[in-house]
Amino acid sequence: MPDPLFDLSGQVALVTGGSRGLGRQIVLGFAAHGASVVVASRKQQACEEVAAEARARHHVDAWAIGANVSHWEQCDELAERAYRQAGRVDVLVNNAGLSPLYPSLTEISEALFDKVFAVNLKGPFRLGTLIGERMAAAGSGAIINISSVEAASPSPGALPYAAAKAGLDALTLGLARAYGPAVRVNTIMAGPFLTDISKAWDLDAVTAGLQHSSALRRAGRPEEIVGAALYLASPSASFTTGATIRVDGGVHGTLF
C-alpha cells in the first residue's frame, strides 16, 4: 500500500503531454500510488497506449483524450471530456511543452513564436482556469505547472520558450491566489532531462556543459521527475502553494 502521505487513491489526475517523456513518467507514477489518470496529448493512439499501460500495471482507471492544448477550444473540450468521463479532476499537471530549434533570433517566425507561447502558456492558462474554478467549487485540488530552468536563466537558443515558461511561473502565483485556499498551485522547474526531446540536442556539447554548470554533472532521467510531482499532488504538500521546486541537478547558468 502507498505511504499515506503520498496516497492518491480515489483521486483523478489529468496530465497534458502525458503520452511520452516526463508526462508519461508522471502518469505512471501517479497510477502506482492509486490515482486514476487522464492521459492527454496531441496523438490519441499514443495516449491510448499509455492509458492501457497504466491500467495493466497498476489496475487503475485510465482514459485517453487526444487534444492540442495550443488551441483554446480544444482545452475547453479536454476539460469537458475529462469531467464527463472521469467524473472529476483532483490534480492537473500542465506538462505539455515544446521548444523548436531556430537558426537565429531574427529568423524566428511569428508562427513559431506564437506556437511556443500557445503550447507553453496559453494552454496552461486556459486549463488552469477552467479546471481550477471547478476544483475550487468542489473544495480541493492541486495544479502542477512544469516549467524550466530556462525561465530563470534564458539561453539565446531557447528564448521564446524561456519567456513562455517565465510567464507560466507567474501564472502559478496568480492561480494560487485566485483559487486558494481550496486549490494548491505549484511549479516544478525542470532542468535538462534525457527524454525523446533530447534527441535533437548536441548531446556531447550538453554533457560537456553540464560538467561545469551542474552540481550533479549530468542530465536527469525521466523517472526522476516523479518524486516532486507526487509530493505536490499528495497530502504531504498540504501547506505548499505558489512554490517553485527546482528538479534540475543543481544547474546554474544557461544550458544552450
Q: What is the pLDDT of residues 214-248, one digit of tens each?
A: 899 888 999 999 999 999 999 999 999 999 999 99
pLDDT in tens, 156-203: 999 999 999 999 999 999 999 999 999 999 999 999 888 876 555 555
Residue 148: pLDDT over 90: yes
Catalytic residues: 161
Q: Who's near 186: CB < 8 A, 6+ residues apart?
A: 142, 143, 144, 145, 172, 176, 232, 237, 240, 241, 242, 243, 244, 245
The domain locations on the chain are 4-247
The length of the chain in residues reads 256
pLDDT of residue 2: 64
Instruction: Say yes or no: domain 4-247 is CATH 3.40.50.720.
Output: yes
Return the pLDDT at 219. 87
Place of cell 504531504: 236
Residue 7's CB: how many other CB atoms inside 10 A?
16
Among residues 39, 37, 34, 27, which one has the least CA distance to residue 8? 34
CA dihedral angle for residue 145, residue 148, residue 153, residue 159, rounded to 10 degrees: -100
Residue 129 phi/psi, 5° resolution?
Answer: -80, -45
| C-alpha to C-alpha distance for 251 and 246, rounded to whole angstroms | 9
Tens of pLDDT along 8-18? 999 999 999 99
Q: Interior CA angle at 171 toward 168 and 175, to 5°?
A: 145
Say what the pTM is.
Answer: 0.94
Closest CA to 149 of 136, 140, 158, 138: 158
Distance CA 256, CA 249 (A): 16
Reply yes or no: is the peptide bond before residue 2 cis, omega within 30 of 0: no
User: Which of 210, 117, 201, 200 has the alpha carbon at shortest distance from 159?
Assistant: 117
Higher pLDDT, 217 or 71: 71
- Please give the distance of CA 122 from its chain centroid, rounded to a whole number: 14
H or E segment and range at residue 231? helix 226-233
pLDDT in tens, 17-63: 999 999 999 999 999 999 999 999 999 999 999 999 999 999 999 99
Mean per-residue pLDDT for 138-159? 95
Q: Which residue spans within the chain are E strands per DSSP?
A: 12-16, 36-41, 62-66, 91-94, 141-148, 183-190, 244-247
**pLDDT, tens digit, 9 for 90 and up, residues 98-129:** 999 899 999 999 999 999 999 999 999 999 99
Question: Which residue type, as a one-letter code, is found at position 89?
Answer: V
